[in-house]
Structure 1
Amino acid sequence: MLKDKLNNLIPDQEKGNRKIVEMRKIIFDSVWAQRKYTNRNSLSAIIYVFVSDCDRKELAINAKKFSCHPVFRTRKCTTDGDSSHCCMIFIDELGRVYKNWKTYLANNELPSGLMIAPLNGIYTTDYNGHVQLEVHPTPNGSAAKQLLGVADTATAVAGFGAATIPLAAMMMTVAPALITGAGAVCATTAAYSAIRSLCNLVDRKKHEQSIGLDNSQARNAWIGVGAGVVGVGASRATNVMTRAAAAGKEISLATELLVNGMNISSIVLSGTGVANGILDLLIKYRDDEEVTSMELVQLAASLVLFTHSVSNFRMASTLVNDTHSATIQDYRKSLSNRQRKIFDKMSKETIRIKGAQQGKVDIIRGANDMPSKQYLNDLYKINKKLNEAKVRPAFGAAGEGVVLNNDVAVNTNDLRNNLQHNKGSSVLNSVTKPIPTTHSEVNAVSNSKLLIVNVNNKGDSSAQPSAVAIGMGSIVLPNNILISLSEYGTRLYEIIANTGSFDDIITTMADAFSQQTFEFLMKLAQEFVETHLEKIRNTIKIFIPAETILYRIFLYVENNCASQTYAFLHTKKQEILRSLNIYFNSLNPNSYLNKIRCDICGGSYSICNLQDFNYAQL
């Protein structure tokens, strides 16, 4: 029934039905989840709130132009079984859940203007029979929200502008001051977007909206938070490394990998944000939906972070390489001609077998570990013998000093004494590996593609079975069973809530059972209504429709009766009636085991688990 109400409340349109279906589902899930306060019963009603762009309350009440917004009200707190003056839950058309009417008035997402609503969110009348109303400005019309909108727009414009600077710097010379200013705007935009996105996630969680990645707004917010935090961190790390390099400090490989990793993470996150943001804009354009300032801020932040992260990554890689080269050149200048000759040979060999990046790191580390430079003199003296033995010296990894054929670490003084003066054991005999092959260093830039798969889920809609006439006369069911409705009294038909559902259940029962069994079960429903229902309704204070009673009877017989003949079911009559009593009494929203006192209204409520209960077991 709730789904039928939503279908009528939000009907299909000529286009954009995907969004309509999604909206119905979100509202249904939010309303259905509130059964936790009413022992798994859905006690809800619909009110309507109107928004006018008038600036005075008197004009708003009589406005001819307005927007209409449905709001679901569900029960939460009670005082002695009465909920008249207690807290009620309100769910708006976005599926946002508000814990009471005051919270709805203060935090709703209605458009800017004056809202006209039933007094306290409940339809009541005055002595003249007029509906009592209240008028309030919507939160989106407040000065704070207007100022926030201006800040969003300004930040988005600044972010889009700053995103172009790194792109321009890749193609032409840009003034350093402009690059510095763009970096400051990037950090500000990213921080602002991250804070706004985080606040958005907190607000969605507070109002029981989805914060999962399957929701576009929540996904944008998560990307905004992640890209903002990682992007700002990567930018600051790059700046720190830049200052360290400018001061002549050695940049360790671990630091380089860390900074590059942060920049790559920022590129991935912000690039995902750009792709996701553009895709959402295209979908909104297709569905004629309005783009919010928050979405523009998130897109601008993702774009500016993406361009700056790419620039930072390129700069960090170039910076480290330039710093290494400058350090090596400074060291080389301090050498004598002989030392420089053997140093160049070792440097070339180190880079050949280890690659430029790792090779330069090992050269700098080796030079720092051997400050006396005597190792170069030793190697120069025995260079010819090393060539004859097909052994090449190179700088080793951390702590290895000089290595031969990238295999054996040696003390150059011992090596020289051994080769020149035959002192000690033969060092060259310990070198078993040939001259190592050249390092295969490939610097490739892969262009990742965002694959967008558009999946259209087409479901076949089955038509509702045609309804038989509901009345007190005789009707013929589709299986040609003739039944006289007057035989089952009037009480059963007075509590029909939905004629279509009633038609469905009696048609199903007529198809499933013999005519004698069908008539027996209808009589059983009549007896339950006339002898048991009033007491149950007075206890649980819930309207129980006829179609629900018949459905519970049908379900019990299908699940619990081995034989469905009239003779067998007649012996189960009291058992079926007892099962109906147990089931409907279990719906009592007032039968709480652990009541919680409400600090707002003074009433009480309880929360049940909607997952661990199976009605079919009753």
Structure 2
Amino acid sequence: MSASKDKDTTLVPTVREVQQKFAEILSHGEDITWDLLTANQEEVLKRKLSLFKGNCNWFYRIWNQRKYTNGQSLTSLFFVLIVDNVSNPQLAEESRSWHLYPVFRCRRCVDKSGQASGIDCCMAYVTQNSSYGNWNEFLLLSDFREGLMVTPYRGVYKLIDGQVELKSYPITEQPRPGFLPKIKDCFITPESLSIASKTPVIRKKSENAVFQLVPEFCAGERMLSLLLNPDSVQKSCDLIDLSDSLVLFTQTFNNFRLAKSMLEEANCLNILVNQERSVFDKISEEAVRINGKVDLIRSSNGVPLKSELDILLQPIQKKRKPKKLPETPKEPIDVLENSPEINTVKVKGEDIDLAVYGKTLRDHIVSLESFELLITSMAEHLEPEIFKLILQLTQTFVENTREEMSQLLKYYFSTESVLYQIICSIRKHYPSWNFNEIKEQSSEILRRLRYYFASSDPNSRSEFLKKCEKCTGYYDLYNKY
């Protein structure tokens, strides 16, 4: 083998190295973690799934699992790697030739309290082609290619003394009746990642002046190439490409600052790992204060891109449709990159000090980028008195109601999610953005906000739980689904 080929081979991580990187991004020690999407946040999941090749039924298979989680979606991403022509687990973990498949683990069974799952509880597993009701079905019936599968036990990434815990399982091809079409085997390989990383990002200009990505390769392959091959001189993603792709790991649309930092630093994986660890550390600290055993649940703040916020913050005059602002490909990065944190905001010539709205409001910001995007968009569109009133409402809820809701819902929700939902409520019920009307209805806005969060509870009530016949846990079918 030539020296150049040897050099190329060293850039391909082993199976264990790949799973170690995923575990560092997706796990929190030995805890079981979940990503929460409420019933009206399906767009976040669709964005995640669009990063991979696969059929459109993938979304519906995952979204259907909400029937076990009170109408909300609780999932966790993990990856399966298949190695061909190897039967020894150690050799499989050391292999640099693999086929990678994304899988979504969905919560099904819980303990008697209805608030925590266990490693041996039934969970649903959804691949690009099928769904499985528990781990044994997943192992016996999965439609991956033949080979030795290396993956975390039951799809739960655990870091023990900093090292990912992995298990190996032989996968045999499943016979299919002759009248059924052959399932398309969608996977990612080192070769496909290499091609994606070396192919320039191509954009075209459409009639409405929006630049769109030509899908020569799925964005997931470009992003994973960057994460799994950090020593490669090729930059597989540009800023827009990477910021779009990071929703797969971050649970938020607004990742421009994170993407910019990753592209500027030599070890981009560490940037992402540190970001995700800080989020789960906050969630873990909150979970310790909540009575009883609970899972670590990371919610989505729902904050959209700036172009959507601009429309949301426009006053609507009676009998007149809102003016549709021209679309832009992405937010201007310089709005957020000048300083690590906004302290003072100029609204129509008036300087407003954010510190006056309390330490609690600032302490519970999870995505600083989403929070600053909300603040800067509000400053651009709203009058100073409305701007300050909305922050006062946010402060009131965070200081007076948030703790109660955390105890009720058993998950962490952020300041930026509160702020965004207040904006959505005003837009829906008081679309003229009249200051006097909003002020008079402040109590009603806070009441609606409390109801919104209360209705997003993913935990089943203990009196409705039924004993599972296949595991030690309990489950409930959401009766309104």
Q: TM-score, normalised by structure 2?
A: 0.53
Q: Contact (CA 8 Å) 1:481, 1:510: kept in 2 or not? A: no
Counterpart of 1:61 in structure 2 is 93
Taking the aligned partners of 2:431 and 2:49, their CA distance within structure 1 comes to 43
Instruction: Give, in whole Å, the separation in 2 of the partners of 1:98 and 1:495.
Output: 37
Query: How far is 1:584 from its partner?
Result: 1.0
Distance in 1 between the 2:382 and 2:129 partners? 42
- For residue 48 of structure 1, give the secondary structure of its aligned residue in structure 2: strand
Cα displacement string for residues 549-604 of structure 1 (whole angstroms, at most 9, x for unaligned residues): 12221122223347744343333333222222222112222244743332112322
- Give the match's secondary structure for 1:89: strand
After superposition, give the CA deviation of every residue in 1:3-57 in whole Å (9 maximum; x if it has no partner): 5676567648xxxxxxx4x64x543333233222222222222112211122211
| Identical amino acids, percent of aligned pairs | 28
Q: 1:132 aligns with which of 155, 158, 165?
A: 165
Structure 2: distance between partners of 1:68 and 1:605: 31
Question: Which whole-Å deviations, capped at 9, do the CAs of 1:143-199 have from their partners, x for residues lacking one?
Answer: xx4xx58xxxxxxxxxxxxxxxxxxxxxxxxxxxxxxxxxxxxxxxxxx734x56xx
Tell me, yes or no, if the aligned pair for 1:3 and 1:28 is still in contact at 8 Å.
no
Kindly state the Cα deviation for residue 482 of structure 1 after the two structures are TM-superposed: 4.5
1:538 correspondence with 2:404: no
C-alpha separation in 1, matches of 2:44 and 2:448? 28
1:259-315 deviation line (CA, Å, top 9, x unaligned): xxxxxxxxxxxxxxxxxxxxxxxxxxx99xxxxxxxxxxxxxxxxxxxxxxxxxxxx
Residue identity opposite 1:576 in structure 2: I
Residues 50, 10 of structure 1: alpha-carbon distance in 2 compared, 3 angstrom cutoff: farther
Shift of 1:519: 1.1
> How far did residue 483 of structure 1 move?
3.8
For residues 90 and 450 of structure 2, what CA distance do their matches in structure 1 show? 52
Residues 454-469 of structure 1: pairs in structure 2 closer than 5 A? 462-466=328-332, 468-469=335-336
Tell me which residue corresponds to 1:337.
none
Instruction: Tell me which of 55, 59, 68 is aligned to 1:28.
Output: 59
- Aligned partner of 2:341 among 471, 478, 486: 471
What per-residue deviation string (whole Å, max 9, x for no partner) do you get for residues 333-384 of structure 1?
xxxxxxxxxxxxxxxxxxxxxxxxxxxxxxxxxxxxxxxxxxxxxxxxxxxx
Residue number in structure 1 paired with 2:444: 575
Give distance in 2, aligned partners of 1:136 and 1:573: 57
Higher relative CO (Cα under 8 Å, sequence separation at least 6) belongs to 2
Q: Do the aligned partners of 1:116 and 1:133 also contact (CA within 8 Å) in 2?
A: yes
Q: What's the counterpart of residue 90 of structure 1? A: 125
Give the number of equivalent residue pairs. Answer: 293
CA contact (8 A) 1:74 1:89 kept: yes
Q: Which has the higher strand share?
A: 2
Identify if the C-alpha distance between structure 1 residues 498 and 480 changes in structure 2 by more than 3 Å, giving closer, same or farther: farther
**Given residue 598 of structure 1, which amino acid in structure 2 is its aligned partner?**
C
Structure 2 gap ranges (5+) = 1-40, 184-215, 218-325
Supply the distance in 2 between the matched residues of 1:67 and 1:60 (Cα, whole angstroms): 12
Shift of 1:484: 3.0
The one-letter code of the counterpart of 1:74 is: C
1:416-451 per-residue CA deviation (whole Å, 9 max, x = no partner) reads xxxxxxxxxxxxxxxxxxxxxxxxxxxxxxxxxxxx
Instruction: Quote how far apart the aligned CAs of 1:540 are.
Output: 1.2
Letter matched to residue 35 of structure 1: R
Deviations 1:229-273 (A, max 9, x none): xxxxxxxxxxxxxxxxxxxxxxxxxxxxxxxxxxxxxxxxxxxxx
Q: Distance in 1 between matches of 2:331 and 2:387?
A: 20
CA distance in 1, matches of 2:349, 2:146: 59
Q: Which residue of 2 aligns with 1:39?
A: 70
Distance 1:483 1:139, change over 3 A: farther
CA distance in 2, matches of 1:67, 1:2: 28
Does residue 109 of the first structure (1) align with residue 143 of the second (2)? yes
2-side partners of 1:495 and 1:463: how far apart?
30
Is 1:71–1:90's contact at 8 Å kept on the other side of the alignment? yes
Q: Which residue identity does 2:143 align to in structure 1?
A: E
Report SS of the residue matched to 1:600.
Answer: coil
Distance 1:2 1:48 in 2: 22
- The structure with the largest alpha-carbon Rg is 1
Alignment of 1:51-450 (within 5 A): 51-53=82-84, 54-79=86-111, 80=113, 81-85=115-119, 86-92=121-127, 94-126=128-160, 128-140=161-173, 145=174, 148=175, 193-194=178-179, 196=180
Measured on the aligned residues, the alpha-carbon RMSD in Å equals 3.5
Q: By how many angstroms is 1:607 displaced?
A: 2.4
Structure 1, unaligned runs of 5 or more: 13-19, 150-191, 202-285, 288-459, 612-618
Match of 1:515 among 374, 380, 384: 384
Question: Shift of the alpha carbon at 1:521?
Answer: 0.9
Choose between structure 1 and 2: higher helix proportion. Answer: 1
Evaluate the alpha carbon distance shift between residue 496 and residue 2 of structure 1 in structure 2; reply closer, same or farther with a 3 A threshold. Answer: farther
Q: Is the 8 A contact 2:108 2:123 kept in 1?
A: yes
- How many angstroms does 1:114 deviate by? 0.6
Matched, 1:547 2:413: no
- Residue pair 2:45, 2:59 contacting (<8 A) in 1 also: no
Distance 1:139 1:133, change over 3 A: same
Q: Would the aligned equivalents of 1:465 and 1:504 in 2 still touch at CA under 8 Å?
A: no
| CA contact 1:509–1:554 (8 Å) conserved in 2 | no
* Residue 604 of structure 1, aligned match among 470, 474, 478: 474
**C-alpha spacing 1:506/1:97, structure 2 compared with 1 (3 Å):** farther
